[in-house]
Amino acid sequence: MPPATTPGKRKRVVKSADARRADILRAGREVFATVGFSEATIADITAAAGMGKGSFYLHFETKDHVLAALWEEYVAAFVDTTRRILAKEQEWWPTIDELLTALIAHAVGHAELHRLVYGSANGTALELCKESNARVVALIGEFVTRGAAAGVFASRNPDWTFRMIYHAADGLLDDLIGRRAPIDTAEVTRVVLELAHRALGHPAHVASHSE
């Protein structure tokens, strides 16, 4: 006769490694947003995720790597958006405008994560996040370089020019997001596109200077 089951005993739920990792990321985001990155501990994260520390270390070395993974998800989403926009094979200027507009909207839409990374993360986390950012810069920089070779964008060094545009926009967004006040996304977009048009020689700006 089979042994009777214990009344009320819950069946253990076995999760996949991906599901466990997702639980840690969700918990990390919640803990970082609640107590701040510097004050957060691995114990806080594992408690919020409903697991022991041993499970945490199967997926991440430190809390810095958790934050970096959250940022990597953020960057990966924009990389996907960038590739989708490039795949349209539009004209050069509409493409760069759409890319920068999407980049700004993506940053504003993830303001809290942006604040965590640039406002409270330590050097290790920032370095890990910087590596992720390089993917976006390289992808769009390559597009701008091809546009310059085609004679559309005017720049002595198109890759450097785009990097200046990117970091100027990123710095502006960092400042605005850090203020914790509502952001006029449309106005930020207008300002960034004006900078890009001037730096890359949009025909409208070239014509205005020649008059």
**In this structure, are 95 and 19 located in the same domain?**
no
**In this structure, are 77 and 142 located in the same domain?**
yes
pLDDT at 134 (0 to 100): 87
**In this structure, are 149 and 166 located in the same domain?**
yes
**In this structure, are 84 and 167 located in the same domain?**
yes
**In this structure, are 52 and 136 located in the same domain?**
no
Evaluate whether residue 40 is within a structural domain.
Answer: yes
pLDDT at 42 (0 to 100): 96
pLDDT at 131 (0 to 100): 78
| Number of domains comprising the chain | 2
CATH of the domain at 183: 1.10.357.10
Alpha-carbon distance 38 to 129, whole Å? Answer: 16
pLDDT at 210 (0 to 100): 47
**In this structure, are 49 and 126 located in the same domain?**
no
pLDDT at 20 (0 to 100): 92
pLDDT at 114 (0 to 100): 83
Alpha-carbon distance 28 to 63, whole Å? Answer: 8
**In this structure, are 29 and 121 located in the same domain?**
no
Q: Which residue ranges of the chain lie beneath pLDDT 50?
A: 209-211
Alpha-carbon distance 205 to 189, whole Å? Answer: 17
**In this structure, are 43 and 112 located in the same domain?**
no
**In this structure, are 44 and 87 located in the same domain?**
no
In this prediction the pTM is 0.79
For residue range 35-68, what is the model confidence (pLDDT) as tens digits?
Answer: 988 899 999 999 999 999 899 999 999 998 998 8
CA of residue 72 relative to chain centroid, distance: 7
Contact 53, 66 (CB under 8 A): no
Helices 42-49 and 63-87 pack at an angle, to 10 degrees, of 70
**In this structure, are 43 and 92 located in the same domain?**
no
Evaluate whether residue 6 is within a structural domain.
Answer: no
Residue ranges making up the domain that contains 26: 14-60
Evaluate whether residue 129 is within a structural domain.
Answer: yes
